[in-house]
């Protein structure tokens, strides 16, 4: 029993034999701060109530069992060992979503085989008499062949049910059907430049998977060389332009679906020599475009400008972020060094494009490419939004709680855009009510627990670049089962 005789002190009395067993067990850390007195084979221990008595779930459960003969419920590990991931399928071929569930030692021993079902766009798939879609023995969903009309596209989830334990639903996975748009968003356009100027052509087309871009000059595959560069984003940059670079250019976009050729664009020599001798203000041959990129990816904001001032110098190109100049020179031991060398993240490539390695959310903002010479300056702005998939800062924990008590499951998820958080119980979406409260749009609070509230709960976080889920088990017991200690968070 436990006797309080001061505000921060209590006395715990237990059989010495049990104490010796607890002392040797892992996780037991009762902090003794006064002399122990042995009386009639019992041990009196005094401890501050603020001390953490048990370091692990196991030692606390063991203590309750030994001291009060309490049959402490045990949680069963129940989770997805494999969740489905996005799939790119080819029309009239086979696609597969994988799914596997672990249920403690029960699945390993073959004692329990979870019931697996599949959901598409929030609705259960009815696979009875379906000879095209099949749930395999390992739980995976096989689709063969994939409909060419696109009806198989959508979000898929694996649903696993274990009797007397509950139901779990996996995160969402999307089935894309490989395709390539019939029109280009950006095609090369005719360009007239002086010798030694910069020439840049864009080639952008929508497709899944992302198409490969190759370039042709005068209908012959273009060979890269010292002044000719094809960027991974498909932009062709020629700098400085040589006489043999003039000609016709087009790009070819290709993925597993098909190929598409762009229009033909002419790169011509500007012969108006008198104008350039009098000086030309800066003019852009390529402007940066608004860009969305996932965190961790490499981003290039393309920019190029031509012009000649009265000293026949080409424009300088500088970059600003949110109105502040980006300084690419850092000092080390008194010497200026390249920013990429110092930080490994930013550099100027080609005529003046800005390349950002391992983009992070902090890189989001408005970027300005500024071209300037003695005659004038010109600015071109573009926004960069770095998208971050959902990630847990805090996951909910398994709980044992009394009937009629209130509990709260914590679920803190970050991402950009901020993920939407929803809760499920045994595969059914929970809607806010007088009974179920969603706190700060993320945590779940349940008021006045009933025995029927026991089961599996899941917290889902979803934004435009991904989704995550975490599951917990809630056990509800009557008031007498865990007396005298309340067995809360485990």
- Which helix (H) or strand (E) segment holds residue 185: the answer is none
Question: What's the rounded mean pLDDT across residues 168-190?
Answer: 97
pTM for this one?
A: 0.80
Helices (H) and strands (E) in the chain, counts: 5, 47
For residue 205, pLDDT over 60 is answered with yes
Query: How many Å separate Cα 96 from the centre of its chain?
Result: 22
Residue 282 CB partners (closer than 8 Å, separation 6+):
305, 306, 307, 315, 371, 372, 373, 375, 376, 377, 378
The torsion angles phi and psi of 479, rounded to 5 degrees, stand at -60, -30
Question: What's the rounded mean pLDDT across residues 1-7?
Answer: 36
Mean pLDDT of the residues in the chain:
84
Domain with CATH 2.60.40.10 in the chain: 277-388, 395-490
For residue 470, pLDDT over 70 is answered with yes
Distance CA 274, CA 280 (A): 11
**Residue 147 CA: distances (Å) to CA of 152, 174, 206, 334, 415:** 6, 15, 21, 65, 34
pLDDT band at 360 (very low <50, low <70, confident <90, very high): very high
pLDDT > 70 in the chain, percent: 78
| Interior/surface letters 161-184, b for 16+ CB within 10 angstroms, e for the rest | bbeebbbbbbbbbebbbbbbeeeb
The torsion angles phi and psi of 57, rounded to 5 degrees, stand at -65, -40
For residues 481 and 406, the answer to whether their CB atoms sit within 8 Å is no
pLDDT greater at residue 1 or residue 468: 468
Q: Which residues are bridge partners to 252 per DSSP? A: 214, 261
pLDDT in tens, 306-326: 999 988 899 999 999 999 999
| Per-residue pLDDT, 159 | 98
The torsion angles phi and psi of 147, rounded to 5 degrees, stand at -65, 135
| Per-residue pLDDT, 74 | 83
| Per-residue pLDDT, 164 | 83
Distance CA 166, CA 75 (A): 12
| Per-residue pLDDT, 56 | 45
pLDDT band at 42 (very low <50, low <70, confident <90, very high): very low
Residue 425 sits at the vertex; the CA angle it makes with 423 and 426, to the nearest 5 degrees, is: 135
Residue 325 sits at the vertex; the CA angle it makes with 319 and 331, to the nearest 5 degrees, is: 105
Least confident of 272-286, 380-394, 455-469: 272-286
**The architecture CATH gives domain 395-490:** Sandwich (2.60)
pLDDT band at 345 (very low <50, low <70, confident <90, very high): confident
- HSE at residue 363, side-chain half, CA atoms within 13 A, is 25
For residue 290, pLDDT over 90 is answered with yes
In 3-state terms, what secondary structure has residue 408?
A: strand
Tokens of 71: 């049959």
Least confident of 2-6, 304-308, 422-426: 2-6
Question: What's the rounded mean pLDDT across residues 117-134?
Answer: 95
Using only C-alpha atoms, the chain has a radius of gyration, in whole angstroms, of 33
Nearest Cα neighbor of 490 from 27, 95, 51 is 27
For residues 456 and 471, the answer to whether their CB atoms sit within 8 Å is yes
For residue 44, pLDDT over 60 is answered with no
Q: Which fold has domain 277-388?
A: Immunoglobulin-like (2.60.40)
For residue 68, pLDDT over 50 is answered with no
For residue 353, pLDDT over 50 is answered with yes
Distance CA 370, CA 350 (A): 15
For residue 43, pLDDT over 60 is answered with no
For residue 155, pLDDT over 50 is answered with yes
For residues 449 and 476, the answer to whether their CB atoms sit within 8 Å is yes
pLDDT band at 334 (very low <50, low <70, confident <90, very high): very low
For residue 335, pLDDT over 60 is answered with no
| Per-residue pLDDT, 263 | 97
Tokens of 457: 């709960």
Nearest Cα neighbor of 286 from 300, 305, 308 is 305
For residues 446 and 435, the answer to whether their CB atoms sit within 8 Å is yes
| Per-residue pLDDT, 176 | 96
pLDDT band at 277 (very low <50, low <70, confident <90, very high): confident
Question: Which residues in 309-376 belong to E strands, given as ranges?
Answer: 316-321, 324-325, 329-332, 335-338, 346-349, 353-356, 365-372
| Per-residue pLDDT, 166 | 95
| Per-residue pLDDT, 63 | 53
Tokens of 28: 């037991």
């Amino acid at each position: 029993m436990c006797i309080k005789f001061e505000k921060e002190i209590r006395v715990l009395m237990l059989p010495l034999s049990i104490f010796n067993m607890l002392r040797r067990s892992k996780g037991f850390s009762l902090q003794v701060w006064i002399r122990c007195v042995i009386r009639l084979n019992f041990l009196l221990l005094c401890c501050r109530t603020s001390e953490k008595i048990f370091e692990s779930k196991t030692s606390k459960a063991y203590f309750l069992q030994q001291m009060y003969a309490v049959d402490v419920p045990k949680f069963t590990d129940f989770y997805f060992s494999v969740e489905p991931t996005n799939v790119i399928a080819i029309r009239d071929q086979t696609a597969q979503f994988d799914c596997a569930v672990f249920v403690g030692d029960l699945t390993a021993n073959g004692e329990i085989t979870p019931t697996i079902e599949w959901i598409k766009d929030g609705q259960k798939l009815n696979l009875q008499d379906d000879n095209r879609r099949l749930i395999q023995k390992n739980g995976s969903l096989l689709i063969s062949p994939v409909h060419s009309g696109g009806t198989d596209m959508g979000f898929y989830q694996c649903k696993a049910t274990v009797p007397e334990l509950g139901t779990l639903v996996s995160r969402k996975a999307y089935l894309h059907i490989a395709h390539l748009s019939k029109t280009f968003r950006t095609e090369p356009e005719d360009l007239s430049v002086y010798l030694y100027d910069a020439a840049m052509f864009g080639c952008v087309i929508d497709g899944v998977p992302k198409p490969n871009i190759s370039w042709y000059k005068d209908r012959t595959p273009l060979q890269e060389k010292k002044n000719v560069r094809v960027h991974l984003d498909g932009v062709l940059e020629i700098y400085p332009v040589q006489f043999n670079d003039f000609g016709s250019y087009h790009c070819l976009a290709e993925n597993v679906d098909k190929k598409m050729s762009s229009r033909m664009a002419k790169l011509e020599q500007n012969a108006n020599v008198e104008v350039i001798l009098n000086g030309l203000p800066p003019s852009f041959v390529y402007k940066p475009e608004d860009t969305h990129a996932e965190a961790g990816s490499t981003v290039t904001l393309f920019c190029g400008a031509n012009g000649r001032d009265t000293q026949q110098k080409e424009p300088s190109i500088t970059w600003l972020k949110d109105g502040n100049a980006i300084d690419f020179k850092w000092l080390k031991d008194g010497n200026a060094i390249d920013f990429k060398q110092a930080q490994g993240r930013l550099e100027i490539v080609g005529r003046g494009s800005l390349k950002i390695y391992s983009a992070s959310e902090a890189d989001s903002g408005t970027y300005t490419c500024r071209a300037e010479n003695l005659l004038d300056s010109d600015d071109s702005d573009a926004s960069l939004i770095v998208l971050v998939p959902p990630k847990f800062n805090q996951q909910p924990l398994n709980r044992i709680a009394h009937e009629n008590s209130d509990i709260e499951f914590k679920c803190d998820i970050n991402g950009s855009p901020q993920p939407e958080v929803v809760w499920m119980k045994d595969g059914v979406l929970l809607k806010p009510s007088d009974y179920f409260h969603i706190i700060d749009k993320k945590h779940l609070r349940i008021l006045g627990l009933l025995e029927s509230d026991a089961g599996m709960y899941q917290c889902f976080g979803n934004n435009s670049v991904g989704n995550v889920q975490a599951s917990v088990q809630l056990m509800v017991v009557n008031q007498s089962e865990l007396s005298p200690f309340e067995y809360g968070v485990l």
